[in-house]
A and B are shown apart, each in its own frame.
Chain A
Amino acid sequence: MIEIDALRKSYRKSRGLDGFSLHLESNELVGLVGPNGAGKTTLIKTLATLLPADSGSVRVSGHDVSVDPTAVRASLGYLPDVAGIYQDMRIGEFLEFFADAFRLKEPQRTAAIERALERAGLADRRNDFVEHLSLGWKQRLLLSKILLHEPKLLLLDEPATGLDPLARIQLREQLKRLHAEGVAILISSHILSDLEDICTRIIFIAEGKNVQEAQTAAFAAGVRASAVRCELEFEGPKDAVDGAIAGFAGAHILERKEGFLLIELTGSSQDASAFLRTLLAAGITILHFDARGPGLEERYRRAFGEHIR
């Protein structure tokens, strides 16, 4: 669905993207995480055909973004970080305008508008002016608007910004539903708990680079159903720990720091217990062992600690 290779984009005084790469399959809901200025919005704008890349290749639904932007636009729905809305239009008129802007012909046009109204929960308010909607309803209307032409890919830049908790929950549910319907989604957000709840994969980005690629899979949040991640803090000889891990089938180190290891085990929580017993049997002093692994917030802190400071 998305194929990005070594994408670079510079502004006059700063670098937006610096060799970023990403491959997103059609059944994925991928979160894009990084500090402010990391390049998330630049990446999404480039995919949405709003920004030309300096170098690298960007393909969406098999179409090169720079060669065939119209085909790319036809295949995606884009919601910017601060999405504007025509306040002085009626809800129905707003959707009719964008149905025409996406060249929908009758009877698909009427059907798409009705579907969008249903999806937004605004079917009985189509004659109301947009300005009378709350922020949450406006966001739902905008999301329905970008789905009018039934895109196979959604690019959402901070869609939950400014929404109240209930609206955020509704947005999450809507995104889950769309993902279940087969729509691929790339979503950028600072609300990590939301991403953790809905995403199949998280991409960490910093200074325009793909941190995940740069630092192996240690920062990937995708958890395979048959794998367990274990945080281990220990005292004692490093060789003994390495030997124990090497001797345990299906265990490999994702991240290593002084006195700390993040380990992925193939198997279930029973295998994690067996692994802990192996470590103890090897005479290693265990200070902390957590088979749940670090949450997204913790991984974010580790990945971007220097940026946060």
Chain B
Amino acid sequence: MRRYVTNPMIIKELRQRLRERRSWLLPTLYLIVLSGIVVCVYYFSTDTGRRLRGAEVQGADIGQAIFLAVVFTQIIVLLLMGPVFSSGAITIEREQRTLAGLLTSLLTAPQIWWGKFVAALLYLLLLLASAIPLLALPFAFGGVEPLDLVKALGSTILTLASICTIGLWCSATFRRSVHATASCYAIVLVLTIVTAIAFGMIYAHWQQSHPGASGPPAHIQAPLFLNPLYPLLTLIDDGDFRFFVYPVSSWLMFAGVGCLAAALAMRRLQRSGEQL
């Protein structure tokens, strides 16, 4: 176990990543985008609320709006960044002809994988951590519980970890970074869009046969369990979203997908000598 904690791959990967220009450029852009969202949501909430109701807007409403906007913007931006950091991790070693050096050292395939995984995830966690002050801002307005913040962060971390394992599997499978990254984006797109469409179709069909039902049961929501946004939708206790109450099922699905992708990636990495 100690070998995985003091894994030289992690140090190497972090060292290399933090030397890149994007290591400071991305967090800067990321925070600018999130701050912009917060400002927009604040003005939209107060201005629109005033116009619609002709009264003062409740602080809790502003807090909830900002919180959900930041949480959803964050996951969407990080879903776009996850494949960039993970799906090129092994292919770059192949393209730079450095993979043979790793495979003929005493590093095992799981150690190489773990180093790549931790480095990719840590960078995304750095972005996530940098936005915590923005996520904590709604506490000043009210309407958001600390538990909501923990659930949102936990769900986002788990989803990103799964996306990173999928990215690493693509990276171990394909020879070139461009193919691995495109494949990983395709998978993210399937998980995000196709599951939503599948749910929409199944739900519409189900509603026809259950006209008086209040909301979709778990098995109808099942396609959404693999949607990276679903665990965050369970945070919304409003309108049709109140029926989305199975975050644990979604977490388990993402954990399962992550474990499967990790196992396949390590197996692939062990056999990647043939691709060199």
Residues of A at the B interface (CB closer than 8 Å) are 45, 48-51, 70, 73-74, 76, 78, 80, 82-89, 93, 97-98, 100-103, 145, 149
Assess the B276–A84 pair: CB atoms within 8 A: no
Q: Does B28 sit within 8 A of A, measured CB to CB?
A: no
Within 8 Å by CB of A45, from B97, B101, B276, lies: B276
Q: Does B100 sit within 8 A of A, measured CB to CB?
A: yes
By beta carbon, the residue of chain A nearest B8 is: A100
Assess the B101–A88 pair: CB atoms within 8 A: no
Assess the B16–A98 pair: CB atoms within 8 A: no
Assess the B273–A51 pair: CB atoms within 8 A: yes
Assess the A83–B100 pair: CB atoms within 8 A: yes
By beta carbon, the residue of chain B nearest A45 is: B273
A86 to B96, CA, bound (A): 8
Known: A45-B276, A50-B276, A51-B273. A101 touches B8 (CB 8 A): yes
Q: Which 4 A-B pairs have the closest CB atoms?
A: A84-B97, A50-B273, A100-B8, A84-B98
Q: Does B219 sit within 8 A of A, measured CB to CB?
A: no
Residues of A within 8 A of B97 (CB): 80, 82-84
Residues of A within 8 A of B9 (CB): 101
Residues of B within 8 A of A85 (CB): 96, 98
Residues of A within 8 A of B11 (CB): 97, 100
Residues of A within 8 A of B274 (CB): 50-51
A89 to B101, CA, bound (A): 15
Within 8 Å by CB of A101, from B19, B96, B100, B105, lies: B105
Interface residues of B in 1-60 (CB under 8 A from A): 8-9, 11-12, 15-16, 19-20
A78 to B103, CA, bound (A): 10
Residues of B within 8 A of A45 (CB): 273, 276
Further 12 A-B residue pairs, CB within 8 A, beyond A74-B106, A97-B12: A45-B276, A49-B104, A51-B273, A51-B274, A73-B105, A83-B101, A84-B97, A86-B16, A88-B19, A93-B12, A97-B11, A101-B9
Total A-B Cβ pairs within 8 A = 72
A-B contact pairs, 5 of them (CB 8 A): A83-B97, A84-B97, A88-B16, A89-B16, A100-B11
Residues of B within 8 A of A88 (CB): 16, 19-20
Assess the B276–A102 pair: CB atoms within 8 A: no
Assess the B8–A49 pair: CB atoms within 8 A: no
Residues of B within 8 A of A83 (CB): 97, 100-101
Most chain A CB atoms below 10 A, which of B19, B101, B107: B101
Interface residues of B in 94-120 (CB under 8 A from A): 96-108
Residues of B within 8 A of A51 (CB): 273-274
By beta carbon, the residue of chain A nearest B275 is: A50
Residues of A within 8 A of B102 (CB): 101
Residues of B within 8 A of A73 (CB): 104-106
Within 8 Å by CB of A97, from B8, B104, B106, lies: B8
Assess the A50–B104 pair: CB atoms within 8 A: yes
Most chain A CB atoms below 10 A, which of B20, B93, B103: B103
- Chain B nearest CB from A134 CB (Å) reads 18
A48 to B98, CA, bound (A): 14
- Chain A nearest CB from B106 CB (Å) reads 5
Q: How many residues of B contact A (CB 8 A)?
A: 25
Residues of A within 8 A of B108 (CB): 70
Within 8 Å by CB of A102, from B12, B93, B98, B105, lies: B105
Residues of B at the A interface (CB closer than 8 Å) are 8-9, 11-12, 15-16, 19-20, 93, 96-108, 273-274, 276
Assess the A93–B15 pair: CB atoms within 8 A: yes
- Chain B nearest CB from A43 CB (Å) reads 13
- Chain B nearest CB from A309 CB (Å) reads 31
- Chain B nearest CB from A213 CB (Å) reads 27
By beta carbon, the residue of chain B nearest A104 is: B106
A82 to B15, CA, bound (A): 24
A78 to B176, CA, bound (A): 24
By beta carbon, the residue of chain A nearest B112 is: A101
Residues of A within 8 A of B96 (CB): 84-87
By beta carbon, the residue of chain B nearest A41 is: B276
Known: A84-B96, A89-B15, A97-B8. A78 touches B106 (CB 8 A): no
Residues of A within 8 A of B15 (CB): 89, 93
Known: A50-B100, A80-B97, A89-B16. A101 touches B106 (CB 8 A): yes
- Chain B nearest CB from A112 CB (Å) reads 13
Assess the B106–A70 pair: CB atoms within 8 A: yes
By beta carbon, the residue of chain A nearest B96 is: A84
Assess the B104–A98 pair: CB atoms within 8 A: no
Assess the B106–A50 pair: CB atoms within 8 A: no
Assess the A50–B98 pair: CB atoms within 8 A: no
By beta carbon, the residue of chain A nearest B102 is: A101
Most chain A CB atoms below 10 A, which of B96, B97, B99, B104: B104
Assess the B16–A48 pair: CB atoms within 8 A: no
Residues of B within 8 A of A98 (CB): 101, 105
Assess the B105–A80 pair: CB atoms within 8 A: no
Within 8 Å by CB of A49, from B93, B101, B273, lies: B273
Within 8 Å by CB of A78, from B12, B20, B104, B107, lies: B104
